[in-house]
Amino acid sequence: MLVAAGVGALVVLAVAAVVGTRAVTAARSRPLPADVTAPTSAHVVQLVTGSCVAALPADGEVARVDVVPCAQPHAAQVVAQYAFDPAAVWPGQAGADARVARACVLSEDEQAAGVRVVTWAPTEQGWGRGDRTGLCLAVPPSPVTGSFLDGSATPAP
């Protein structure tokens, strides 16, 4: 009887762990609105076209960023997304980076204003968790307010 109770308790704990992990994973990957109403820290997989990023992190793997309303000063904005086929095989980091980079194009006016593109592609670990989205970020020479998507981006005061 005691053994059966112990096994039952382990089963309940295992089920709770799986359900809890799935809930956390779902919350971490739920897309944000294109323009948030208040500053928030977000997982990169939550970003969508239109998301304004307060500060551009250093080169390398990016897990979380601070997202702000586009009316506030920001250092970058997601201007496009590249969707890998959900059934695609991992193309390697160089291949993933190249595919996303080909999808990132700025207007001649943006390029003339010194805006550059930064691309974020899934990593092998992210790919293994189902991340199949690459991001194109417009990065102006100094912070802006407004949006690159509607042409309202102007230097921040």
Distances (CA, A) of 42 to 9, 99, 123, 131: 35, 24, 17, 15
Mean pLDDT, range 103-126, rounded to an integer: 95
The whole-angstrom separation of Cα 128 and Cα 126 is 5
Two structure tokens written together for 44? 């990169």
Mean pLDDT, range 89-116, rounded to an integer: 95
- What pLDDT, in 10s, does the model give residues 6-27? 565 545 434 434 333 333 334 4
For the chain, where are the alpha helices, taking DSSP H only? 2-29, 93-102, 108-112, 124-128
Mean pLDDT, range 55-78, rounded to an integer: 94
E-strand ranges in the chain read 40-43, 52-53, 64-68, 76-83, 116-120, 133-139, 144-145, 154-155
- What pLDDT, in 10s, does the model give residues 72-101? 999 999 999 999 999 999 999 999 999 999
Two structure tokens written together for 59? 């080169």
